[in-house]
Amino acid sequence: MKTIFCFVIVFVILCNVFAIQAQIQNQKPALPSMVIPDGLGYNIHFTDAKAGEMEMLAESGATIIRMDLSWSGTERPKGVYDFSAFERLTDSLEKFKIRPLYILDYSNKFYDNGLSPHSEEGRTAFAQWSAAAVVHFKDRGIIWEMYNEPNIGFWKPKPEPEKYILLALEVGRAIRAVAPNEIYIGPATSGIDLPFLEQCFKAGLLEYWDAVSVHPYRQTNPETVLAEYAKLRYLIDQYAPQGKKIPILSAEWGYSSAWRNYNDEIQGKMLPRQWMVNLAADVPISIWYDWHDDGKDPKEPEHHFGTTNHDYKKDAKPIYNPKPSYVAAKTFNETFRGFKYNKRLWTGNDQVYVFLFQKDNGIKLAAWTTMNEKESINVSIPCSPGKFKAVSYLGEKLPDLTATEKSLTINVSDAPIYLTPLNTNQALVEAARWTSLPLVIYQNEEEQTDRFASSHVNYWLENIQNNIFFEQKTVLNVANSVSVGLPIPIKNQLVTVINNPSGQPLSGEQLTLKPTKGIDVAETVQNLELKQGETIKTITFPLKSIPKEEYGFSLDVNSDFTCFSSQTMKLIDDFSSQNNKMFSADWGIYPDGDSQIGSEQKIEAVDGMVKITYKFDEGWKFIRLAPKGELSKINGKPKALGFLVYGDGSGNSVNIRYADSTGQTFQVHGGRLKDTVPYYFEFALDASKASHWGGANNGKITYPIRFDSIIIDGTRKACGPYSVLVSSPVLIYE
């Protein structure tokens, strides 16, 4: 009897063990946590590491790598799969506790003539190969990504969202059929391409994807990504299956040391700032592109994204010469290991970032600014009195700092500083316990007039012991916003462009234009009605004559919202009064870019605007519409420049250039001409959103400035002939 009883007990225990094992096997592996350094790593381009390479990767704190698992390299011959190279890579990564993110990508010569899979046969073959790869590496924690940058030239012969979506859906169904618990993500877009992403979401891909991966490349500060992440998160929430939380992943993003105005030092500052901004945006994976430099050509940006130099030194240690970005990665991971981002402490300055990190009752801070690299600022961080250990982003020990009764004052620059209290700082411990607010969010506005506010700020304030105040700031952007462009003088009217990107209707609103000085126009009220789906509309106000000197007006929506307060404006030139002979005497159209790439371009005066007709051969080419002589001179300190462009649907971008008195040139990006609609472009003239080169002030403007040109920049593909209409450019002063 006792034997039977023992057998029953053993049987029950075994059943429970098997049940637990089955439950574990059926459980979907998690994405990386938000605990540092989980989810931080690099893109690599190898399956067999060189001697010492894995050790160096691991020493930097990397916990994840991203690598192409290409179709052409693993299915040869046709119908036969060989994953042995990736078995070796996966085995070697596991030894160092580094997780793979493998990209299912590209083409195969056996299908669709070597183009991206677009036929039924090609899609089926790609999906079968993808499913075979996932099954082969099942239960090893691999993250599977659907293709790489299908919204640009990596989809051959040209990007076609509909064909990518058909493929991604078929791959999703195939993977879920054989390995439902493996992690499947996509679409790895170049940039945060919201129109492409929304097409994917509308087609139902969020049913299959566990996360949305994007490549937020930019040559501006990493902090500028926050509004784009918020817009993408809003979009995901609109289409996600009910109850399914779908995070955003930064699956590829880096800064090249060889970009204009960049170098190894600046790249090194960008890496920790990028990783911290991603953590603050609740992005659990940050893949830095690239692990090591891919070449040595000093003028080739693609060769210099790495965190180490290119040359491998077999018998040396380390085997690659570290760049500052490698040291910065290692310092960040060692400093904050085991900590999580907690919140941003608002200091009253948008350009200052103070991040609070927490591990149980342990507290650390990171502080930096987005100002020019040659500038710094004193910042007061609220906290209890006590000493702080300080290190630079490169791990250099800095002098200890002492907080007074209510705050710690530090000098911060674009190079992050990391601060650790030497004793428990009770005020910071208490601050860490409060709810952390998102830095930027999007939401629909129900009141129609509120839709004209592009953003407003919500402050959240707490008072703790000894009257020490901590503040957070959330920027609330209107998701269904309506924007009103500056009315531009064209012949006998002022023309303003209304943008309504959400396509939601608007009724019962009125625009009121009130002249204040120097403009021959009566106070005028115009109705503003937007139909469902209407995204662009022009509104005109009668104008008796074009203003010759400075002028001003205000523009209101009803009486609730001021689109433009009374500002001073001045035309650089009046295109309305020009004929072709006069215009060609004052302005020229000039080809630029690669001198070996052909182009055709001409200008003519048409209906109070300038018509630019152009054609580009394949390659780097752009054209510049530039004033001659006195027209380039600009008086005072204008804050912006605005003009209208009637688009051509080419996808080419509109930029401007201006120069300061030292010869330093600034270039500002406006946007792309994706449709044949009127666009209003407004460019800041304070260097805040400009790339720069030449001169002696490294990004700081010395007035007076000179207007250089309006630029139409190609996409490096052959295009045209196209034609656009450009209005008179208007300087906007305070």
Note whether 622 and 633 are within 8 A (CB): no
Tokens of 718: 């052959």
CA-wise closest residue to 251 among 65, 435, 6, 485:
65
* pLDDT beneath 50, residues of the chain: 1-15, 17-25
Q: What pLDDT does residue 698 have?
A: 74
**Side chain identity at residue 309, one-letter code:** N
The rounded distance, in Å, linking the Cα atoms of 41 and 285 is: 8
**Side chain identity at residue 62, one-letter code:** A
Backbone dihedral angles phi then psi of residue 621, each to the nearest 5 degrees: -150, 140
Residue-wise pLDDT tens digits, 184-220: 999 999 999 999 999 999 999 999 999 999 999 998 8
Identify the helix (H) or strand (E) that includes residue 119: none
How many other CB atoms are found less than 10 A from the CB of residue 156?
A: 16
**Side chain identity at residue 614, one-letter code:** Y
Q: What pLDDT does residue 374 have?
A: 78
Q: Which residues of 433-446 are buried (b: 16+ CB within 10 A; e: fewer)?
A: eeebebbbbbeebe
Q: What pLDDT does residue 700 have?
A: 85
Backbone dihedral angles phi then psi of residue 524, each to the nearest 5 degrees: -135, 140
Distances (CA, A) of 585 to 116, 610, 626, 656: 50, 13, 11, 21
The rounded distance, in Å, linking the Cα atoms of 694 and 659 is: 9
How many other CB atoms are found less than 10 A from the CB of residue 105?
A: 22
Q: What pLDDT does residue 27 have?
A: 65
Q: What pLDDT does residue 14 have?
A: 42
The CA radius of gyration of the chain, in Å to the nearest whole number, is: 29
Q: What pLDDT does residue 20 have?
A: 40
Backbone dihedral angles phi then psi of residue 286, each to the nearest 5 degrees: -130, 105
Q: How far is CA 676 from the centre of its chain?
A: 25
Residue with tokens 């907690």: 342
Tokens of 567: 């500002």
Q: What pLDDT does residue 6 have?
A: 44
Burial class (CB in 10 A: 0-12, 13-18, 19+), 651: middle
The rounded distance, in Å, linking the Cα atoms of 622 and 218 is: 20
The pTM assigned to this predicted structure is 0.85
Read out DSSP for 321-372?
PBPHHHHHHHHHHHHHTT-EEEEEPP-S-TTEEEEEEEETTEEEEEEEE-S-
Domains annotated for the chain, with CATH where assigned, are: 31-338 (3.20.20.80), 343-478 (2.60.40.1180), 485-566 (2.60.40.10), 575-732 (2.60.120.260)
The rounded distance, in Å, linking the Cα atoms of 628 and 451 is: 41
The rounded distance, in Å, linking the Cα atoms of 316 and 295 is: 20
Q: How far is CA 131 from the centre of its chain?
A: 31
Q: Which residues of 225-234 are buried (b: 16+ CB within 10 A; e: fewer)?
A: bbbbbbbbbb
Q: What pLDDT does residue 564 have?
A: 81
Identify the helix (H) or strand (E) that includes residue 203: none
